[in-house]
Structure 1
Amino acid sequence: MSPISSSVFPVQCDIRIRQGDLGRDGAASTVGVARWLEDARIRVRTPRFERLVGAGGFGPHQIILVSQSAERLATVYRTDAEVQVHTGIRRIGRSSFTYEQAVFAGGERVGGGGATVLNLGPAGPLALPEELIADLTDLSVPDSSETATTRPGAERAQRDHYAFFAPLRARIGDVDSNQHVNYLALTTWYDEAVAAFTTVAMDEDGLVPDLSPSSYRIDYIGEVTYPGDYEIGVRVRSFDVDSVRYELGIFGGGTCLGIADAVGARGVLSPKSLGPGGPR
């Protein structure tokens, strides 16, 4: 995706960097960036649609997240000033719409991402009302996609696609007001799976170097609930001298509940430990 100028984003909000946003290197983590993007999306107002819902003109519905992306492009420390998230709407569909976002610190673009959300009713997807379409149109930015997003293949939902599995147990603190594991908590699960993979690949005890992903593209397929025991599948799609491209999936038993693509630093990971697919 080609970056677009901050001037074309209709909504900007200031971000306060919190301790929980920082990674092991003392800079904002990719999960922290994802949290900033969520904070900014929550602040976007759709006044026509809000009036329609308030007047009872639109029936029961949920706006649910079906995918998100987040990436770090530069290091951001807690002492950095003037961190802002700029937000706009990139695509408007029949029942869904897509945010595009960019993070700036001191005038430099340091991250970005976006999310696609679905308007869901009791019986399935609902067409976006005219009022919401008008609000979203006011927030539109140029579509900066260079190519259409490639949908993951069906093999990504199969356990035997993955070379390594990391077990994880849902924690009550992961559960949000929708009574399932929050999508930001799920992002930390992917981080944990990559760390577990790194530990095995390096064949070392104790704390290994921080090779957590700098970017994620995540699709949500099913609901992750509490209590529950889950596994994160990890497969190395490719690697070069600097980076590793991962394919990941969350499984509850034999059922795939979400998939992700991630890019992390390679560090000292050897070619032998990374291929084919990583350690088994």
Structure 2
Amino acid sequence: MTATITTQNATVPEPGQFPVLIEHEARYADLDPSRRIGREALVRWFEDARVAVERDAFGADLVARLQSRVRLLLAAIRVDVLAPLRVAGRYRIGVGVSHVGTTSFSYRYAVFAGDECVAAGESTSVHTDGTAPSPLPDEVRAALSGLRVDATASGRPDRGGERLVRENYPFRYDVRTRFTDLDTNRHVNNVALAAWYLDGIAELHQDVLGYPVGGPLDGLSPSSLSVQYLDQVHYPGIHTLRVGVAEIGEDTVRYHCGLFDGARCIGLAEAEGFHHAPGDDGDPVRLAEALAPFRMKD
């Protein structure tokens, strides 16, 4: 079962809306335990598409990045799974620029199987001088203007004061940074960080279900994930990932997550998915009542 999440735009994206369409072949390594393309794999697909567009549009290849001629940091990303993505077949990733600001700009993404949109997303990148946001160079701004696509931004996870307080999240999951999590900037890559939040939610499900063999049920995996990167995460280090239940609806549950270095919040996430799914014996497993004690504290 895959939770149906409504996209933040009035209509489901179509291929013709995007100025760039990139062919992308799914890999076996992209599959999660449900035998479908995992959410963190989609974050990686969007990263691959973003890097390809920036290399071709304004020369932001690896050399330019390493020489600090172009400094872009990902500030936020959102992924919505609209239909099951399987390893068989090829996909197209639509990419367009939905907003250009003074120091940042946003992309809109869509994944197509044929002409059917099976996933959508958006991200925001910030241009920096190495220590703080800085104005986008004129050549970058000009290149981005040729990639515009109409879109309505969904906004980032709520940054209210209560979201920055570690003790407001009832569930705790400790994460040790691995060397293989690092990227060329020598901090933890955004894809790895997105996977940390998914791991934290899975650990909560494991705790509620009594640690079943093989992990929590496939139908409980979030179909919507939104991440905001507040600060860089370095190696080595042990960080605390906190999870709380923000809202329990008739069929779905919305989670709030926070990543902490000591008491300092360095990342936020929101996720949404079903709180019930078919069990191995065919009877439904329902978590709404069991998740209630994990509601966010006021």
**Same fold per TM (> 0.5)?**
yes
Contact 2:95 / 2:108 at 8 angstroms: preserved in 1? Answer: yes
Normalised by the size of structure 1, how large is the TM-score?
A: 0.90
Structure-1 residue corresponding to 2:291: 274
Equivalent residue letter for 2:163 = R
Q: CA deviation at 1:240?
A: 2.3
Structure-1 residue corresponding to 2:121: 113
Tell me how far apart the structure 2 counterparts of residues 151 and 181 of structure 1 sit (CA, whole Å): 23
5+ residue gaps, structure 2, are 1-7, 277-284
Tell me how far apart the structure 2 counterparts of residues 18 and 89 of structure 1 sit (CA, whole Å): 27
Equivalent residue letter for 1:192 = D
Structure-2 residue corresponding to 1:239: 248
Q: Deviations over 1:175-215 (max 9, x none)?
A: 11111111101111111111110011123443332322111
Structure-2 residue corresponding to 1:127: 135
- Picking from 60, 64, 73, the partner of 2:73 is 64
Q: 1:177 to 1:46 in 2, by over 3 A?
A: closer
Tell me how far apart the structure 1 counterparts of residues 155 and 207 of structure 2 sit (CA, whole Å): 35
Structure-2 residue corresponding to 1:212: 221
Normalised by the size of structure 2, how large is the TM-score?
A: 0.85
Q: 1:233 to 1:187 in 2, by over 3 A?
A: same
Tell me how far apart the structure 2 counterparts of residues 149 and 249 of structure 1 sit (CA, whole Å): 13
Are 2:197 and 1:190 equivalent residues in the alignment? yes
Are 2:192 and 1:175 equivalent residues in the alignment? no
Report the 3-state secondary structure (helix = DSSP H, G, I; strand = E; otherwise coil) of the residue aligned with 1:98.
strand
Q: CA deviation at 1:47?
A: 5.9
Q: Deviations over 1:5-44 (max 9, x none)?
A: 3212100101110112111111111111111111111111
Contact 1:33 / 1:71 at 8 angstroms: preserved in 2? Answer: no
Tell me how far apart the structure 2 counterparts of residues 45 and 272 of structure 1 sit (CA, whole Å): 46
Are 2:207 and 1:226 equivalent residues in the alignment? no
Q: Deviations over 1:215-255 (max 9, x none)?
A: 11110011211111111100001122422110001112111
Tell me how far apart the structure 2 counterparts of residues 31 and 131 of structure 1 sit (CA, whole Å): 32
Contact 1:60 / 1:122 at 8 angstroms: preserved in 2? Answer: no
Q: 1:48 to 1:202 in 2, by over 3 A?
A: closer
Q: 1:36 to 1:59 in 2, by over 3 A?
A: closer
Contact 2:156 / 2:228 at 8 angstroms: preserved in 1? Answer: no
- Picking from 19, 27, 30, the partner of 2:36 is 27
- Picking from 100, 105, 109, the partner of 2:108 is 100
Are 2:31 and 1:14 equivalent residues in the alignment? no
Are 2:140 and 1:140 equivalent residues in the alignment? no
Over the aligned positions, Cα root-mean-square deviation in angstroms equals: 2.4
Q: 1:167 to 1:39 in 2, by over 3 A?
A: same
Report the 3-state secondary structure (helix = DSSP H, G, I; strand = E; otherwise coil) of the residue aligned with 1:190.
helix
1:40-59 correspondence runs (5 A): 40-45=49-54, 49-50=58-59
Q: 1:244 to 1:148 in 2, by over 3 A?
A: closer
Report the identity percentage. Answer: 32
- Picking from 160, 183, 200, the partner of 1:153 is 160
Q: Deviations over 1:43-72 (max 9, x none)?
A: 114667439xx99xx975511101111121
Q: 1:143 to 1:271 in 2, by over 3 A?
A: closer
5+ residue gaps, structure 1, are none
Are 2:207 and 1:200 equivalent residues in the alignment? yes
Contact 1:165 / 1:232 at 8 angstroms: preserved in 2? Answer: yes
Report the 3-state secondary structure (helix = DSSP H, G, I; strand = E; otherwise coil) of the residue aligned with 2:267.
strand
Report the 3-state secondary structure (helix = DSSP H, G, I; strand = E; otherwise coil) of the residue aligned with 2:143.
helix
1:80-95 correspondence runs (5 A): 81-95=89-103
Tell me how far apart the structure 1 counterparts of residues 191 and 68 of structure 2 sit (CA, whole Å): 28
Contact 2:76 / 2:124 at 8 angstroms: preserved in 1? Answer: yes
Q: 1:125 to 1:192 in 2, by over 3 A?
A: same
Tell me how far apart the structure 2 counterparts of residues 239 and 214 of structure 1 sit (CA, whole Å): 15
Tell me how far apart the structure 2 counterparts of residues 93 and 196 of structure 1 sit (CA, whole Å): 38
Equivalent residue letter for 2:109 = Q
Structure-2 residue corresponding to 1:74: 83
Report the 3-state secondary structure (helix = DSSP H, G, I; strand = E; otherwise coil) of the residue aligned with 1:43.
helix
Report the 3-state secondary structure (helix = DSSP H, G, I; strand = E; otherwise coil) of the residue aligned with 1:247.
strand
Report the 3-state secondary structure (helix = DSSP H, G, I; strand = E; otherwise coil) of the residue aligned with 1:15.
strand
Report the 3-state secondary structure (helix = DSSP H, G, I; strand = E; otherwise coil) of the residue aligned with 1:274.
helix
